[in-house]
Amino acid sequence: MERINAARALFEQFGLDVLLVQKSKNRRYLSGFSGSSGCLVITPERAALVTDGRYTVQAKRECAPDTAVLLQGASLWQTVGEVAGGAQRIGVEQDAVTYEQWGKIAAAFPGRQLVPVMLDGLRRVKDQREIRSIEEAVRIADAAFAKLIDELRPGMTELQAAARLEFFMRDGGAEGLAFSTIVASGARSALPHGQPTQKRLQPGDFVTFDFGAVYNGYCSDITRTVVLGRVDCWQKKLYEAVLDAQLAALAAVRPGIRASEVDAVARERLRQSGHLAAFSHGLGHSLGLAIHEEPRFSPACDTVLLPGMVMTVEPGAYYDGVGGVRIEDVVVVTETGCRKLTQTDKQLLEIG
């Protein structure tokens, strides 16, 4: 009921009579329903999930007691219209519907006003149950990476390394992958989102792994960069520069600081080491039911951090044709600073 009431706070802000929730992550957050189809209808008096026959049993098991489960009739929107009754101002998630869907909703509410709203902000601060789920997703990913390191050898392809890492996450309890696993080696490690290929891992390669597990619907996100064989002097210096920026940013995370200020701490350290121009993305992002949530550590985000926000801290430096480094941890903002959930060591590993 607390989450539903938080959504109802938007009624006064936007002058709404009813709110339609279609985005799967928001629908799950507010109702508990994890299925892929349906619409959560919130009025001042009630909340009802309208879904089809594939999901009615699941919905009744998953939905909170304060949310009714209704089987759609001839169409989803006909039943939604019946639940909404005579509502005149209809809140619709602007980032969750296509132009075609918007037209169908308008047809279900002829002569009434559709009001675009955003609901993702409801999920910014995580409760203890959510944090425990994220923590377990991190633990699963940490353990999987430790097992992969025991197997990683020159000659293995990037695709094979990714497959083993994904197997270990699944075998360790992950219900899914948080995103497509990134494995990029050698000069390809300069690609921040380098998808794994048939390229074989070679002695002397930087190898960057970016991976995450899903547990109870919640995501983890970890990046580690290792070296196959002996570490070269330039690799050691680049790695230490990125690690220095990450540690400085982690030390800056606390309630009351702006997200952009944390991002600036990492950028200043990379400027001092001469690698700022090689840092091509934001410092990090929130995560939860989705892998990328708000707020974000970036120069453009002035959101003030609050206890309970869960963030990634992931500086990097990338040199085309040479290679790159990224180091990423998940942290939860506490009353006095932050607590790091990722446990995998950040010492530069020499593998094989």
Query: pLDDT per residue over 291-342, tens digit each?
Result: 999 999 999 999 999 999 999 999 999 999 999 999 999 999 999 999 999 9
Query: Residue length, the chain?
Result: 352
Task: Provide the pLDDT for residue 75.
Answer: 86
Bond preceding residue 299 cis, omega within 30 of 0: no
**CA–CA separation, 314 and 110 (whole Å):** 48
Below-70 pLDDT ranges, the chain? none
Residue 212: name the closest of 138, 160, 126, 309 by CA.
138
Task: Provide the pLDDT for residue 194.
Answer: 96
Task: Provide the pLDDT for residue 108.
Answer: 87
Domain boundaries, the chain: 2-122, 128-351
Q: Do 2-122 and 128-351 agree at the fold level?
A: no
Topology of 2-122 in CATH? Creatine Amidinohydrolase; Chain A, domain 1 (3.40.350)
Task: Provide the pLDDT for residue 347.
Answer: 92
**What architecture is domain 128-351?**
Alpha-Beta Complex (3.90)
Residue 268: name the closest of 300, 301, 299 by CA.
299
Task: Provide the pLDDT for residue 144.
Answer: 98
Task: Provide the pLDDT for residue 74.
Answer: 82
Residue 188: name the closest of 161, 209, 207 by CA.
207
**CA–CA separation, 340 and 246 (whole Å):** 12
- pLDDT tens-digit series, residues 294-304: 999 999 999 99
**CA–CA separation, 18 and 183 (whole Å):** 45
Contact 218, 133 (CB under 8 A): yes
Q: What is the pTM of this model?
A: 0.95
